[in-house]
């Protein structure tokens, strides 16, 4: 048995096994559950890194379930890709790395954060299932399997959002709203799957992509898939669930939910680029995505300025930052049919958008963790009630400054690098878009100045006399994320050249995606 061949499935299967073992272990020892979770996710993280090295040096990987060949030869000699498979190229592994890193640090942060609640074993089990769902959405090469993993991720995240719902009403309300929108979206995805199956008798991404004609039915499927996946990513005007869900979930879960919404974003890009690619009307669909991006950026940030709840404010920023990714990739899509413009600025715009996904996961994760640290010690999320916390929580203050500077796009942090790529390339597409993006960046800085002032600055308040620094595991998780942010900020070229550029190229070149499956048949 050669282990290295099985790495793609082990990344998914080990957290899955751990998710089922955690409640069993929890009967014997409650403390062991957290350690088992962390262990499983660390194995997953190591395997993801190993797989990333393999993919970036050797090429895309295909892993078939239950048989050696992805296709079945009928007695008539016809070959058919019927098996469920994982298909992992540079873009998938890029998202996989984000998922692995974020869920690992989410688990570490949870070790102390979640201690005081009941049902810790169920919490860890659901966290692992959420991770499995995200990995599955990113790695799968089968469109129905994608739907299954989407539902696994959304069911697990709903249960985690309403985790505190036994004691408070608001988390249950947020969970209900998220469940409603995500089940609508999942059913629309299923309908689109039905349309594809009815037309092509196929469920394999690559096989559908090689046959797609952009017929009337394909247009309907695209029209169903774009809005629901954009909704799951939190695009305006379907973003209303985002602040509710993000603010009520426990802080480490909020961080993982950001990565989960990005998995939907990945699915949107995968469908538009790898499934349809040049066959669709690139300008129209590109502009649809650009308009989603613009609305998300502007409405997200202006709504954030008036918020009083710290996590709600950050959630609106998550909406706003998603707009940057949609803008960057949308510009790339709009010029997809025009090779000259694509070479000149389209690829750079997409690099900016894709790089921003990773940066956003890191700094928004860090910011949510600092908000969680404040909640952990003060017991409130209301900015009006906070003040002077920098006196008591020095490390958290430093991490918050790093995160806020990164999200506002201040040099030399990582947010600046990806935003610069977006500004400069989008300016050559349409100057107005670039100017709006810069204004949004300034407003982002303004609203984080507000948070910093009202939560951390000011005199020592009498009600927070007992407040002290958060436990060590929480500080550790925040410190490592800060180090990643600073590293990305100092050496953005390493990431762009080695991870982002291959990811963009694997999106643009459809043949590379379909060839890995159909070439081996």
Partner 1 sequence: MLGLLETGSGFWSAIIWIVLVLVIGSIVIYIRNKGEDSYKKNTEQDKPFISGNPEESKESSHLSANHIYWGFTEALKGYYNPLVKMHTGNINDYSSWIIMLTVIILIVIGVSG
Partner 2 sequence: MKEMSRIVKTVTNFVYGFIIIFGFYIIAHGHLTPGGGFQGGAVVGSAFALLLVSYGSLNSNKFLKKDIFSLFENFGLTLFIVLGFSGLGITFFYNFLANSGSWFGDAAVIGINPGDMNTGGVIPLMNIAVGLEVLSAFGVILLTMARGAEFTKKKENS
Partner 3 sequence: MIGNLPYIAVAIFIGLGIYTLMFKKNLIKIAIGVCLIENGVNLFLITLGYKKGAIAPIYTQAPSGQAMVLPTPQALTLTSIVIGIATTALILSVAMMIYKHYGTLDTDQVRRLRG
**Secondary structure element (H or E) that encloses residue 72, with its range:** strand 72-73
**Residue 21's binding partner out of partner 1, partner 2, partner 3, none, with CB under 5 to 8 Å set by partner kind:** partner 2
Comparing CB distances to partner 2, the nearer of 24 and 449 is 24
The whole-angstrom separation of Cα 53 and Cα 56 is: 5
Binding segment for partner 1 among 48-56, 108-116, 367-375, 378-386 (CB under 8 A)? 378-386
CB of 460 to partner 2, least distance (A): 42
| 53, 305, 439, 483: residue in contact with partner 1 (rule CB under 8 A) | 305
Q: Please say whether the beta carbons of 327 and 297 come within 8 A.
A: yes
Comparing CB distances to partner 2, the nearer of 67 and 184 is 67
The whole-angstrom separation of Cα 224 and Cα 4 is: 38
Q: Shortest CA distance to 195 belongs to which of 168, 217, 166, 167?
A: 217
Q: Please say whether the beta carbons of 94 and 358 come within 8 A.
A: yes
Q: Please say whether the beta carbons of 324 and 351 come within 8 A.
A: no
Comparing CB distances to partner 3, the nearer of 246 and 273 is 246
Q: DSSP characters for 196-234?
A: HHHHHS--BHHHHHHH----HHHHHHHHHHHHHHHHHHT
Half-sphere CA count of 21, side-chain side, radius 13 A: 14
Binding footprint of partner 2, residue count (CB under 8 A): 17
Comparing CB distances to partner 3, the nearer of 186 and 362 is 186
Residue 220, both tokens: 């309907």
Span 31-70, contacts to partner 2 by CB under 8 A: 63-68
Interacting residue ranges for partner 3, rule: CB under 8 A: 144, 147-148, 151, 155, 158-159, 162, 165-166, 168-170, 172-177, 179-180, 183-184, 186-187, 190-191, 193-194, 197-198, 203, 243-244, 247-248, 306-307
Q: Which residues pair with 80 in a beta bridge?
A: 72
CB of 148 to partner 3, least distance (A): 6
| 4, 6, 453, 511: residue in contact with partner 2 (rule CB under 8 A) | 6
CB of 121 to partner 2, least distance (A): 10
Comparing CB distances to partner 2, the nearer of 16 and 52 is 16
Show the CA angle centred on residue 42, arms to residues 38 and 47, nearest 5°: 155
CB of 223 to partner 1, least distance (A): 4
CB-based burial, 258-274: b 16+ in 10 Å, e otherwise: bbbbbbbbbbbbbbbbb
Q: Which residues pair with 62 in a beta bridge?
A: 87
CB of 190 to partner 3, least distance (A): 5
Q: Is residue 61 helix, strand or coil?
A: strand
Q: Please say whether the beta carbons of 86 and 140 come within 8 A.
A: yes
Q: Is residue 306 helix, strand or coil?
A: coil
Per-residue mark of binding to partner 1, 492-521 (x: CB under 8 A): xxx-x-------------------------
Comparing CB distances to partner 3, the nearer of 191 and 452 is 191
The whole-angstrom separation of Cα 393 and Cα 387 is: 12
Binding residues vs partner 2 (CB under 8 A): 1, 6, 9, 13, 16-17, 20-21, 23-24, 27, 63-68
Binding residues vs partner 1 (CB under 8 A): 176-177, 180-181, 184-185, 188, 216, 219-220, 222-224, 226-228, 231, 237-238, 240-241, 244, 281, 284-285, 288, 299, 302-303, 305-306, 308, 344-345, 348, 383-388, 411-412, 416-417, 420-421, 424-425, 427-428, 446, 450-451, 453-454, 458-462, 489-494, 496
């Amino acid at each position: 048995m050669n282990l290295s061949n099985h790495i793609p499935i082990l990344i998914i299967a080990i957290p899955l096994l751990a998710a089922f073992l955690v409640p069993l272990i929890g009967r014997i020892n409650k403390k062991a559950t957290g350690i088992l979770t962390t262990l499983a996710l660390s194995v997953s993280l190591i395997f993801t890194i190993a797989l990333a090295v393999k993919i970036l040096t050797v090429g895309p990987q295909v892993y078939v379930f239950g048989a050696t060949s992805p296709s079945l030869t009928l007695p008539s000699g016809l070959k058919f890709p019927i098996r469920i498979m994982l298909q992992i190229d540079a873009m998938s592994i890029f998202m996989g790395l984000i998922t692995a890193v974020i869920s690992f640090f989410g688990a570490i942060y949870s070790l102390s954060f979640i201690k005081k609640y009941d049902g810790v074993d169920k919490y860890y089990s659901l966290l692992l299932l959420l991770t499995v769902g995200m990995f599955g959405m990113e790695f799968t090469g089968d469109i129905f399997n994608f739907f299954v993993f989407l539902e696994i991720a959304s069911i697990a995240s709903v249960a985690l959002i309403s985790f505190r719902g036994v004691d408070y009403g608001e988390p249950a309300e947020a969970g209900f709203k998220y469940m409603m929108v995500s089940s609508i979206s999942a059913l629309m995805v299923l309908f689109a799957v039905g349309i594809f199956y009815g037309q092509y008798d196929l469920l394999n991404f690559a096989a559908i992509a090689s046959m797609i004609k952009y017929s009337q039915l394909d247009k309907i499927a695209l029209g169903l898939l774009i809005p629901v996946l954009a909704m799951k990513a939190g695009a305006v005007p379907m973003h209303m669930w985002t602040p509710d869900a993000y603010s009520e979930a426990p802080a480490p879960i909020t961080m993982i939910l950001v990565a989960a919404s990005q998995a939907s974003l990945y699915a949107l890009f995968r469908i538009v680029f790898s499934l349809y690619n040049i066959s669709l009307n690139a300008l129209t669909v590109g502009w649809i995505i650009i308009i989603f991006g613009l609305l998300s950026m502007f409405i997200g940030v202006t709504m954030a300025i008036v918020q009083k709840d710290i996590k709600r404010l950050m959630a609106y920023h998550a909406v706003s930052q998603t707009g940057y990714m949609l803008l960057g990739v949308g510009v790339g899509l709009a010029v997809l049919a025009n090779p000259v413009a694509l070479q000149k600025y389209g690829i750079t715009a997409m690099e900016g958008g894709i790089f921003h996904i990773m940066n956003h996961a890191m700094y928004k994760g860090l910011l949510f963790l600092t908000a969680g640290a404040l909640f952990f010690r003060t017991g409130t999320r209301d900015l009006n009630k906070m003040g002077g916390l920098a006196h008591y929580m020095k490390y958290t203050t430093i991490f918050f400054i790093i995160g806020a500077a990164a999200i506002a796009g201040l040099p030399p942090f990582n947010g600046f690098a990806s935003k610069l790529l977006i500004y400069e390339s989008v300016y050559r597409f349409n100057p107005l878009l670039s100017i709006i993006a810069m204004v949004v960046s300034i407003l982002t800085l303004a609203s984080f100045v507000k948070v910093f002032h009202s939560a951390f600055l000011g005199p020592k308040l009498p009600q927070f006399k007992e407040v002290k620094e958060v436990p060590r595991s929480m500080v550790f998780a925040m410190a490592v994320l800060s180090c990643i942010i600073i590293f990305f900020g100092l050496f953005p070229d390493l990431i762009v050249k080695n991870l982002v550029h291959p990811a963009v190229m694997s999106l643009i070149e459809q043949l590379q995606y379909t060839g890995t499956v159909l070439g081996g048949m």
